Structure formats: structure tokens, C-alpha cells
């Protein structure tokens, strides 16, 4: 990766979505999908509470939005940026959508599905494994989550 790689600005965009999610009372996770040509196809944050939908994780929302935009089930050549390690639901959706590269921030020992637990991409039942770049702006992502959950505890 050269200095010119725009992954920092894409992850900054995902972090902005994570902060907006936290401000809505959602677990602060944000995601962005970038098309092969560099265009932002979709950006969103967690909306599980707002939509009363346990599938409305940031990654799921941007995948669905990007596919709707393109009218296609597959996002060939696209990159997904997300501030936290995806859970197994989102990891499998990333595989189903044929995302080319996955950039994520903080590891998620509690609910992660990639580097721990079910390791969704590490079985023959996974038909597409993206290239994976982890620990991108992980400190900022972790700080957001820590502040959010310590705020919840303080409210009690």
C-alpha cells in the first residue's frame, strides 16, 4: 500500500458514520462501500434500534444499499470499510456479495466472526473470501465503543 492509498479517508468516513450511530443511541459502528472506480456507493451506521431490525448492522445496510443502487446481487471489485470486526452475519453477507477487499478497525473478541469464533472465511463452506486488512484506525474505533458503553453504565 502506498501513501496515496485513500484507505484513511474511507475509514474516516466510516468513523463519521459510527459517531452518528452513537449519537442516535446505537452501538457506534459505521461502514462504507467504495466502488472499483473509487466512488462512494453507500455509507451508513448501525440502525438496529431505530428500525427494530436485528439485521440492520452497518455492513448489512451498506451492502443492501449498494446492491440496490447497482441493481445487482454482487459487488464485484468493491471494497468495504467498517470500524469494527464484522460479526458472522455480516462476514457471510460480505462473502455473498463478493466484496473484493475488507478493511476493518478494531478487533471484536466478544462478537467477531472473522479472526475469532466461527472464522467465517476459513471454511470450505465459504465460497468467496475477500482480501482482509485489519487494525485500520483501530484506536479511534475502540475509543468510540468504550465511550459509548461507559456512558451507558454511567446512565444506570
CB of 55 to a copy of itself, least distance (A): 5
CB of 2 to a copy of itself, least distance (A): 31
Residue 90 annotated as lining a ligand binding site: yes
Phi-psi region of 135 (alpha: psi -120 to 50; beta: other; left: phi over 0): left
Q: Are 46 and 26 in contact (CB under 8 A)?
A: yes
Secondary structure of residue 17 in the 3-state scheme? helix
Question: What span, in angstroms and rounded, lies between the C-alpha atoms of 71 and 50?
Answer: 26
CB of 146 to a copy of itself, least distance (A): 19
As beta bridge partners, residue 34 has 40, 79
Q: Does 4 bind a copy of itself (CB under 8 A)?
A: no
Q: Are 45 and 16 in contact (CB under 8 A)?
A: no
Question: What span, in angstroms and rounded, lies between the C-alpha atoms of 73 and 85?
Answer: 23
Q: Does 48 bind a copy of itself (CB under 8 A)?
A: yes
Contacts to a copy of itself from residues 87-146, by CB under 8 A:
87-93, 96-97, 109-113, 116-120, 122-127
User: Catalytic one among 12, 17, 50, 59?
Assistant: 59
Whether 59 is catalytic: yes
Residues interacting with a copy of itself, by CB under 8 A? Answer: 48-49, 52-55, 60, 63-64, 67-68, 70-74, 87-93, 96-97, 109-113, 116-120, 122-127
Q: Which parts are annotated binding residues?
A: 57, 87, 90
Amino acid at each position: 500500500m502506498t501513501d496515496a492509498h485513500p484507505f484513511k479517508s474511507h475509514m474516516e468516513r466510516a468513523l463519521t458514520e459510527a459517531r452518528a450511530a452513537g449519537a442516535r443511541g446505537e452501538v457506534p459502528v459505521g461502514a462504507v462501500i467504495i466502488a472499483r472506480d473509487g466512488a462512494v456507493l453507500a455509507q451508513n451506521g448501525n440502525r438496529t434500534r431505530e428500525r427494530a431490525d436485528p439485521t440492520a448492522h452497518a455492513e448489512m445496510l451498506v451492502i443492501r444499499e449498494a446492491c440496490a443502487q447497482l441493481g445487482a446481487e454482487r459487488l464485484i471489485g468493491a471494497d468495504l470499510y467498517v470500524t469494527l470486526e464484522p460479526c458472522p452475519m455480516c462476514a457471510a453477507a460480505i462473502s455473498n456479495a463478493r466484496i473484493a477487499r475488507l478493511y476493518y478497525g478494531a478487533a471484536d473478541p466478544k462478537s467477531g466472526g472473522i479472526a475469532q469464533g466461527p472464522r467465517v472465511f476459513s471454511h470450505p463452506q465459504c465460497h468467496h473470501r475477500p482480501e482482509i486488512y485489519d487494525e485500520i484506525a483501530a484506536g479511534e474505533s475502540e475509543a468510540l465503543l468504550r465511550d459509548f458503553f461507559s456512558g451507558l453504565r454511567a446512565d444506570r
